[in-house]
Amino acid sequence: MKELELDLIDDIEDDLNDDLGDDTAEPDLLELQDTFSTNLCDVIITFRYLGVFKARAIACMKELAQRRANGDTFEFEEYIQTQMKTMPNINAAIPKYSLPLSGLFKK
């Protein structure tokens, strides 16, 4: 039974890694320039909340900073903080979920 559980966890981790893809590649800068500021913030929020897509989050933050330097008045810091406050706490200490979740956030 324990072996079956570990196989299931390995399968889930493999599927998640396949779904998340390779985050080492730089995002297309032209794609970022055509993206709404709130969507760029959502990528940053995803990184802060789940710890995934670090390279994309950095690129999005750079794009938001560039927009600010060019006169954009969108308060992205406030938007990110407000959205982060609405996110539920992830309690990875719950025994049923702790093993699969602990492997997800080690990257």
Q: How far is CA 1 from CA 6, 7, 8, 13, in A?
A: 9, 10, 11, 19
Mean pLDDT for the chain?
Answer: 75
DSSP collapsed to 3 states, 11-39: HHHHHHHHHHCCCCCCCCHHHHHCCCHHH
Place of tokens 């406050």: 85
Residue 82: predicted pLDDT: 95
Residue 33: predicted pLDDT: 81
The string of pLDDT tens digits covering residues 33-80 is 888 999 999 999 999 998 888 999 999 999 999 999 999 999 999 999
Q: Could you tell me the pLDDT band of residue 29, with boundaries at 50, 70 and 90?
A: low
Q: Could you tell me the pLDDT band of residue 32, with boundaries at 50, 70 and 90?
A: confident
Residue 103: predicted pLDDT: 59
